[in-house]
Structure 1
Amino acid sequence: MRIIFMGTPDFAVPALSALHAAGHEVACVYTQPPRPAGRGKKLMPSPVQVEAERLGLPVRSPLSLKKPEAQAEFAALDADVAVVAAYGLILPQAVLDAPRHGCINIHASLLPRWRGAAPIHRAVMAGDAETGVTIMQMEAGLDTGPMLHKVAVPVDRKTTGELFGELGAVGAAAMVEVLADLSAFPPEAQDDAAAIYAPKIDKAESKIDWAEPADVIECKVRGLAPFPGAWFELEGERVKLLLAEVVEGEGTPGTVLDNELTITCGTDAIRPLRLQRAGKPVLERREFLRGRTVAAGTVLA
């Protein structure tokens, strides 16, 4: 097929690579413009742009697709289908309608559960036993289009970061399978009554509330790892908690129980496994405690 690929982050790179390797003609790659990054705020191209340039594919980075000129340029590519994976721009109806088979999206959840911007984060934070990818036909609504193919993936106590990589690969393989024979994947309407939305993560959500049950906090820690990272305050310093386990323990929530940094919660307790001080590398708990003693009885904010 003649394809337009539309994606931006690391999640989308496996799909671009797989479609190219499968022999599809990638007419153009659309991605977000380079953004300032790092201490020097140097403009950095998106991961998809880096991969497209490695493959020798043409790249476009419009700030919007709302203008008639941008829509005409898109339509002039005369594509059979547009493949979308975490692109980052809303597609106007004229863009959705331009390719012969429309626009097909790789969405990182088992729709209609977790429509929206942060489906992987929300699935992990909610304690879901499984997540997955849905290949869906796009329409004007937010992830409301008919589904073509689903692939389930067990969460198995993985972090959001680990699932991003796994689901990116699963989504790439699923999209290649669908485009090999579109007629073999008849569209299935979503049950709107079963829809759950996955709003973008608000930074205010990242602070740990020790009054919550330990299992809820542990899911939150994995769901926010590695970014933005769940955090607490230790003697006025912000510390990210990137991995933890639930253990037995009781007491006033937020109290350190022992020299292993076991912390009481609303029910049970949390024992950190991986932590990060501001501006410092990620450390395992024992390494963290070598550089900083936290006495039993310390109360965390």
Structure 2
Amino acid sequence: MPLRLIFMGTPDFAVPTLLELAGHGHEIAAVYTRAPKPGGRRGLALQPTPIETEARRLGIPVFTPKTLRTEDALAEFRAHQADAAVVVAYGMILPQAILDAPRLGCYNLHASLLPRWRGAAPINRAVMAGDAETGVMVMKMDVGLDTGDVAMAERLAITDAMTASDLHDRLARIGADLMVRAMAALERGGLTLTAQAEDGVTYAAKIDKAEARIDWTKPAHAVLRHIHGLSPFPGAWSEITLDGEAVRLKILRCERAAGTGTPGTVLDEQLTIACGDGAIRIVELQRAGKAPMKAVDFLRGTRVAPALRFG
């Protein structure tokens, strides 16, 4: 018999899971998400979250409480009489009373191989750290920060060609399938839980824009992973002087390249840049106030001569 679920999520990453659960016949009694925020072209109109947009399209009641720590919020949550809650990047801490409310508990989809990269930015941190693999895990939630017992996992290799955006999209799809399988097992009474390992705990701190400036003195592989780990947001950046003007460029995608030189130096007319050890070639970039573009298109209108330096 399908489960009666509360779904709690906010960004695009959570949308595939909501759609898959609904598509597999589970009854989504309510969707909890963050309240709309000002956005749009002038930043005035309130913009619903991606999850709210999908939930309303599906005809599911939407709730946007500012807190879950009041008696009224708890009573409203309990009133849904859910078998379980599914949480995907909701963005709000669940107190113990909320965790205890569903009959079978609350289950979180987390985008890392726990206990590595607990916290807010596991996808970005895995790429930036040079990890060879990552994955998604379904865990039964407790009051700790991503410390709950793990039910299921799927692993995924991280290649040097992947940006955080690429990895985000693949993990969202894999995670949706994993959560559907986990809820099917829960429905049958066959969901097995395993405590997380005590060794190997790392924390994925929220990305700070101050981290985005590129340090060309680092080895080429580290520079590449830094760039890809911050693509597209906030975007790793560096400055170069073009026609006497300092221009900030976000570098969104790059590849390893042959060459050596003083770190930050342009080595050829294909935007190969020297790093502390080796070099990278820029593949996609974005000039301030402009749309992202391929490096070859940028070079058609802007001459970047060898010996110029980023810095």
Secondary structure class of the residue paired with 1:113: coil
Secondary structure class of the residue paired with 1:179: helix
Question: Once structures 1 and 2 are overlaid, which stretch shifts more, 33-42 or 240-249?
Answer: 33-42
Q: Does 1:129 align with 2:132?
A: yes
Q: Does 1:280 align with 2:271?
A: no
Give the whole-Å Cα distance in 2 for the aligned partners of 1:27 and 1:286. Answer: 50
Query: Among 92, 114, 118, which residue is 1:115 paired with?
Result: 118
Secondary structure class of the residue paired with 2:117: strand
Q: Does 1:192 align with 2:198?
A: yes
For 1:75-94, list aligned pairs within 5 A: 75-94=78-97
Number of the residue aligned with 1:4: 6
Number of the residue aligned with 1:259: 269
Query: Among 167, 171, 176, which residue is 1:172 paired with?
Result: 176
Number of the residue aligned with 1:16: 18
Aligned residues: 301
Give the whole-Å Cα distance in 1 for the aligned partners of 2:309 and 2:233. Answer: 25
1:237-262 C-alpha deviation (Å, 9 max, x unpaired): 21110111111222211111111121
Give the whole-Å Cα distance in 1 for the aligned partners of 2:215 and 2:232. Answer: 18
CA contact (8 A) 2:40 2:47 kept: no
Secondary structure class of the residue paired with 1:5: strand
The structural deviation recorded for 1:184 is 2.6
Give the counterpart letter for 1:116 in structure 2: G
Give the counterpart letter for 1:253 in structure 2: P
Number of the residue aligned with 1:216: 222
- TM-score when normalising by structure 2: 0.95
- TM-score when normalising by structure 1: 0.98
Number of the residue aligned with 2:144: 141
Give the counterpart letter for 1:95 in structure 2: I
Give the counterpart letter for 2:221 in structure 1: D
Structure 1 unaligned residues grouped into runs of 5+: none
The structural deviation recorded for 1:297 is 1.1
Give the counterpart letter for 1:176 in structure 2: V
Number of the residue aligned with 2:37: 35
Query: Among 48, 68, 73, which residue is 2:76 paired with?
Result: 73
Question: Once structures 1 and 2 are overlaid, which stretch shifts more, 190-199 or 11-20?
Answer: 190-199
Secondary structure class of the residue paired with 1:193: coil
The structural deviation recorded for 1:227 is 1.0
Give the whole-Å Cα distance in 2 for the aligned partners of 1:130 and 1:185. Answer: 25
Number of the residue aligned with 2:211: 205
Give the whole-Å Cα distance in 2 for the aligned partners of 1:184 and 1:101. Answer: 12
The structural deviation recorded for 1:55 is 0.4
Secondary structure class of the residue paired with 2:199: helix
Q: CA RMSD in A?
A: 1.0
The structural deviation recorded for 1:290 is 1.2
Give the whole-Å Cα distance in 1 for the aligned partners of 2:232 and 2:145. Answer: 26
Give the counterpart letter for 1:165 in structure 2: D
Poorly superposed stretches of 4+, deviation over 6 Å: none
Structure 2 unaligned residues grouped into runs of 5+: none
Secondary structure class of the residue paired with 1:181: helix
Give the counterpart letter for 2:26 in structure 1: H
The structural deviation recorded for 1:78 is 1.1
Number of the residue aligned with 2:305: 295
Query: Among 96, 100, 110, which residue is 2:99 paired with?
Result: 96
CA contact (8 A) 2:227 2:251 kept: yes
The structural deviation recorded for 1:291 is 1.4
